Amino acid sequence: MRSKYFFIFFLLVIVMQAGCNKASIFEGVDKNGWAANNGSLTMYTYTVLRCGPLKIYVDDRLMGTLAADYTGSTPACGTPSSGSILTITVGEGFHTIRAEGSGSNCTKTYTRVYVENGKCVNQPLNF
């Protein structure tokens, strides 16, 4: 009798796992937890030397640090991240960006930065 219940339980587990797609748990969500409709956000600054390394938060999540001033003209949107550029993928919609440095007057918040699905937003972080 006991083996009969074990067999039924085992069969039930197999059937449930066959119908479950592991990826479906995270379907529609990127590695940062944003929805599948994504765009890119490229951030850079010319004020690292004055403020020290800048911690960059998007929607209150630490996304990276800018440790060097960007020295060129406006970078192309989607430029890969480096010490002076931070490019991330975010869900479509409005986002809040906060840059925090160690000097006085070295915290700046940008609210309602809109990123459209499949598009890129170039956001200078000016102090």
Whether 92 is covered by a domain: the verdict is yes
**Lookup: tokens for 72:** 């060129």
Range of the domain at 52: 38-124
Q: Is residue 24 part of a domain?
A: no
Whether residue 12 is contained in a domain is answered as no
Q: Assess whether pLDDT exceeds 60 at residue 34.
A: no
Residue 26 within any structural domain of the chain: no
Q: What is the CATH number of the domain that holds 46?
A: 2.60.40
Q: What is the DSSP string of 50-101?
A: HH-SEEEEETTEEEEEE-S---SSSPPTTPPP-SSEEEEEEESEEEEEEEE-
Provide the residue type at 111 as one letter: T
List pLDDT tens digits, range 52-90.
Answer: 899 999 999 999 999 999 999 999 999 999 999 999 999
Give the β-pairing of 54-58 and 93-100.
antiparallel
Is residue 118 in some structural domain? yes
**Which residues are CB-contacts of 44 (< 8 A; sequence separation ≥ 6)?**
66, 70, 75, 84, 85, 86, 124, 125
- pTM equals 0.71
pLDDT in tens, 35-54: 568 999 999 998 888 888 99
